[in-house]
Structures are given as C-alpha cells and as structure tokens.
Amino acid sequence: MLMMPATPVYFRQMPQSAQRGASLIVVLLILIVVSILGVGGAQIALMAERGSRNDRDMQMAWQAAEAALIDAELDLTTPASSASSPARGSIFGMTIVGTPPRNVQAEKVNIVNFTTTCGTKTDVNANGQSTWGLCSLPATGKPAWLTANFESTGNSATTVEFGRFTGRTFAAGALGAQPVQAPRYVIEAIPDEGAASRDKTAPELNYVYRVTSMGFGPRVDIQAVVQMVYRN
C-alpha cells in the first residue's frame, strides 16, 4: 500500500500588540489633576475661613473702640454728684447736678489739668480729681494720641481704661471670642480757634476735646483706633 507523505501544516502566529502602559499613564494624569483641584479647593476654603476670622476680629476691635468713645463721652458729660465729690465733672466744665442757675463761666474747661505728657493712674490735681489721660496739645511734635501707648495697663499708663470714671463694665480677657483687654482712650484739649467768631463776648479761649480710643481683638496686636471731636 502506497502511503502518501503527510502535508505539513503551518500555523501562522499572530503578532502580539506592544504593551506600552498608555492606560496607566492616563489614569495617573487624571489622579494628579484631581489631586491638584482638591488641594486648591482646600486652600481656597482655608483662605476664606481665615479671612472671615480676621474680619470678625477686626469688627470686635472696632466695636470695642466705639464703646470706649461712648465711655469717654460719658466721662466728659457726667457732672459731679456733689460739691465734695472729687469727680472729673468740673475739669470739663460740668456743674454740679441740681445747682441752678447755670454758671457759664464755671462750665469752661479747666485747662491746667491737661499736660503734654498726659496724666497717669495716680495723678490728681489740688482738688483730688484724677487727671488720668488728660492731654494738652504740644506746641511742636506729635500730638498725644500718636505717642500714647494704648497697650500699657500699669500705673504709668497714660490711657484710661474703659469704665474707670463711669462705673461701666466691659467683658474682656476671657476665653473665646472676646477682646483680649478692655479698650482705652485719651482726651486732648484743643483750642477752639473758631469760638471767637461764634461768641464775640467770650472772655477767654474756649476748647474742644479730641478723644482717641483703641479697641483690641482676641490678640493684642489686633487693634482698631477711632477718634471724635467733642464740643461741650
């Protein structure tokens, strides 16, 4: 029997595609972009929170300074309760309560109680009245409100603490969102140059008061300064 040789069968091997990791690179790029966006969003949120906190702290200091202005105005306008009281009413020209008729001359500012260095906590005049924080306008140099140390709270401080002459209280120094210390102020007596044109019969120079106050935020370096001019 004649046997035919078997025809060889050839199998063609398909070429394998080159594995270059393109999908991995795309996924990594997407992860990087998402991470950058996440970090950027977190930074924006932190900046917004920090800005809100700074705004709150400045508002706190501003409102404290405004409260000190009101306290200083009460200091200026509250007359002495009695003739024997060493209150500051007569220094600012405020007569004693319930003592008519009104004495205009007695209601003029007692300028001798105001000095260029301002008074301290222990300074009093001959009548026993405190001259703390009372400043006169220097002939040359900077005015008192630019040289006074509003952060100082000792006996040598030339700025008056809130409530010292009004008996009012101010919440400060406690934990939480409170000012680190009570606001303070100084009062300057300034010659009223326009008084002569308004009152031809004025026998002496009149004065107006420039009140400068500083309020504090939760930290002592967070400060707000406000100022007013008061005419009695």
Which residues have CB under 8 Å from 14's CB, separation 6+?
none
Question: For 199-214, what is each residue's pLDDT tens digit?
Answer: 555 556 788 899 999 9
Dist. CA 75–CA 163, nearest whole Å: 9
185 strand-pairing partners: 160, 213
- C-alpha torsion angle, residues 106, 113, 118, 83 (rounded to 10): -70
**Least confident segment among 3-7, 152-156, 174-178:** 3-7
Residue-wise pLDDT for 33-84, tens only, equals 888 888 888 888 888 777 788 889 999 999 999 999 999 998 888 776 654 4
Q: In the structure, what pLDDT confidence band is assigned to residue 177 with cuts at 50, 70 and 90?
A: confident
